Structure 1
Amino acid sequence: MIRKSNKIGLACLARWTGGRPRLLGREDDEFVVQTAITWPTVLGKPFTRWSIRKLADHLNGNITRPVLICRETSRCLLAHRGISFQRTKTRKETGMRQAQAARHIICHTSSPVG
């Protein structure tokens, strides 16, 4: 690589085709995405939400159309498509804030109307 870059300059980077070839095609990608956005109960699974592990196990063991995919590849593919299985977290108010809010409501409702 160094000899080639010394010989032709930065043009050697455009010719580089390193890396492992993809094992999944576009049709497989679409099948993975469609499976991920489908409820597991529709596909006969006994749970209500997919996890990356459950999705990969389902795709690898699918009899009609097996897709050999690991968890990391499926996570990267779904993240690239904007799909995440993380639930949104909500914050609960502390007991002190709830008590203050309740006192505030009681004070305003029990004050004499002028």
Structure 2
Amino acid sequence: MARQPEVFARSLEPEEAQRLVTITRSTRDRVRLRRSGIVLASSQGRSAGEIAVMFAATEGYVREVIHAFDDSGFAALSPKWKGGRPRKFGPAARDQICRIAACKPAELGLPFTTWSLTKLIEYLAEHARLLVSTETVRQILRAEGVSWQATKTWKASKDPDFVAKKTRTLDLYDHPPADGRV
């Protein structure tokens, strides 16, 4: 097998070198510490093999870090992974859950006025064929800014004389009678 050509980090400005030193001395993130150390060692003229021995890494990893730093600078020092398993429900299912939650249950022919998470899940399972947990629905609705709970509203009176009675009562509070009882 032929020997790999040597790879070195681009020449660093004094501010960049100082920033790398600061990162290696102050960061608590092990990946960031290791990557910045690799770039510093490379800028000092050490070969990929020497750096790999120093950091207990493979030469391939050292080369990847150096190339990434040359391409994208300090952004290459931070890890880019995300934790957790992939989402179980895609955008179409998430959109359908949000649309149904935004509807009034009475519009869908249901005998109640507001959704609860349990009722919403039962409806999704029966009509949309979506088997979703309570927590998943709650997280989807929260992420989309959809509230399934009823908003508090003011109930108006159906009495035709309500305005006159209200005006008279408020006037009594503002101008109480001589005996002071309202």
Query: TM class by shorter-chain length?
Result: 0.5 to 0.7
Amino acid in the other structure paired with 2:151: R
Paired position in structure 2 for 1:94: none
Paired position in structure 2 for 1:35: 100
The percent identity for this pair of structures is 27
- 1:74 paired to 2:137: yes
How far apart, in 1, do the equivalents of 2:82 and 2:174 lie? 68
Q: Unpaired segments of 5 or more residues in structure 2? A: 1-28, 37-75, 155-168, 178-182
1:87 pairs, out of 144, 148, 151, with: 151
Q: Is the 8 A contact 2:101 2:120 kept in 1?
A: yes
2:173 pairs, out of 66, 87, 103, with: 103
Runs of 4 or more consecutive aligned structure 1 residues displaced over 4 Å after TM superposition? none
Q: Tell me the number of residue pairs that the alignment of Structure 1 and Structure 2 aligns.
A: 95
Q: Unpaired segments of 5 or more residues in structure 1? A: 91-98, 108-114
Which has the larger helix fraction?
2
TM-score w.r.t. length of structure 1? 0.63
State the secondary structure of the residue aligned to 1:18. Answer: coil
- 1:62 paired to 2:126: yes
Distance 1:81 1:17, change over 3 A: closer
Give 1:88 deviation, angstroms.
3.0
Distance 1:46 1:86, change over 3 A: closer
Paired position in structure 1 for 2:79: 13
Q: Work out which of the two has the higher radius of gyration on C-alpha atoms and give 1 or 2.
A: 2
